[in-house]
Structure 1
Amino acid sequence: MNTKFEVEVCVDSIESAIVAEKAGANRIELCSSLAEGGLTPSFALIALSKKMLKIPIMAMIRPRAGDFFYSELEFEVMKKDILCCKELNVDGVVFGILTPQGNIDKERTKELVILAYPMKVCFHRAIDMTNDYLKAFEDIVECGCTRVLTSGKENKAILGLDNIAKIQLNSKGRIEVMAGSGVSADNAKEIYSKTKINHFHLSAKTIKE
């Protein structure tokens, strides 16, 4: 049986976005500063990408590098950025907010999910920084996110397959689980065979190689 893999590619330039689409990416995660783990892209970059690409675009909403505990003012910036993405008809947004205790910030996450509607929402790898991974997953589902990106609480997805498999089993069609960090054509089949996940997140660097 041939399983179709869906590939999202993370890029931080219009050139990389075009290369990714030509290489067969199903979707783009658009960021700035990939070296910092990905920050909110400029709206000029979002607008140009929308104009030039045919595949869906998910825009990163992350106002700064570092941890995922945001001040009130930073949270206001995130809300404004989401509204700007709506105006540009972006397909979805990507973010992650934690409490200082290492849990999902459910109140703020729900607020952003509601604000983003009808755009799709992906909760990013901040889940891998939580204290209780399985509870964090259920919290993300409860908040109404469309998708969650994870490496299974490890630096690389290939090392976190047990955790990824657990949340994939628990997802029961409520949310899409996507594996990311160190994913490549060389290990995607192994990740699928051990987790049954067929949604993968790659970097533009992987595509170019």
Structure 2
Amino acid sequence: MIKEFCAENYTNIPQAIKAGAGRIELCDNLAVGGTTPSIGVIEEVLAFTSEKHVPVMTMIRPRSGNFVYNDIELKIMENDLIHAKNAGTDGVVFGCLTPENEVDEEALEMLLGNSEGLLTTFHMAFDELSKEEQFKTIDWFAKLGIDRILTHGGPLNTSIEDNLPHLKELIDYAAGRIIILPGGGINADNAERIAETLGINEVHGTKVVKF
């Protein structure tokens, strides 16, 4: 099973990999859900993880708050993504919505256009979509070639345990066309059980390994 460790900057990455993290989601400002780390942090993390053969997914998010971005913010995201790609990141993590809480198609196409050759994860902005829209979005993302959707299966203030039925629905519906990556409330103690319950082999979290 791949345990994706959600890391704030470089600090805990060596311990996390030693404890069994098989992939890193690299962020800054986890207290607000994660924003783009600096290019200096990205470069140092990649220098370390490349020796350990552990892939890194870099967060592309210009600020805290909602996932509705204006043209300047999207330009920032585009530049950050290009810098992360040039630094050698294995993948990128992003999400963008319209004021109506639907996926911002134009913004997504721009980000994907700059992500060629990288792994891509659409992050928990997915959880802002209506349940009906979530199933349609899985179909669309699978066609676009997005690799993963990171989801809590419900609002972040709900328990991951309460969301397991909906997560299972999403996973069954995706049927291997795109990876549904559960996160938020998964830790080293419950990761194996949740993965077994959902029939998956990837989990995500800040406490998904113990060190």
The answer for the alignment partner of 1:58 in structure 2 is 57
TM-score, normalising length: structure 2: 0.90
Aligned counterpart, 2:145:
144
- Residue 20 of structure 2 is aligned to residue 24 of structure 1: yes
- The residue matched to 1:117 in structure 2 has which SS? coil
- 2:66 maps to 67
Q: Do the aligned residues in 1 keep the contact of 2:142 with 2:177 (CA within 8 Å)? A: yes
Query: Sequence identity, in percent?
Result: 36
Is 1:167 aligned to residue 163 of structure 2? Answer: no
Q: Which of 170, 179, 184 lines up with 1:181 in the alignment?
A: 184
Listed as ranges, the matches of 1:1-209 within 5 Å are: 5-53=1-49, 54=52, 55-131=54-130, 132-155=133-156, 156-203=159-206, 205=207, 207-208=209-210
Cα distance in 2, alignment partners of residues 109 and 15 from structure 1: 31
Q: How many Å separate the matches in 1 of 2:167 and 2:110?
A: 26
Relative distance call for 1:174 and 1:166 in structure 2 (3 A) is same
Count of residue pairs brought into register by the alignment = 204
CA drift of 1:77 comes to 0.6
Once the two structures are superposed, what CA deviation does each residue of 1:139-162 show, in whole Å capped at 9, x if it has no partner? 332332111111112434322112
CA distance in 2: counterparts of 1:158 and 1:141, whole angstroms: 26
- Could you tell me which runs of 5 or more consecutive residues in structure 1 were left unpaired when the two chains were aligned: none
Which structure 2 segments of 5+ residues have no match?
none
| 2:73 aligned partner, one-letter code | E
Once structures 1 and 2 are overlaid, which stretch shifts more, 108-117 or 30-39?
108-117
TM-score (norm 1): 0.91
Counterparts of 1:106 and 1:141 in 2: how far apart (Å)? 14
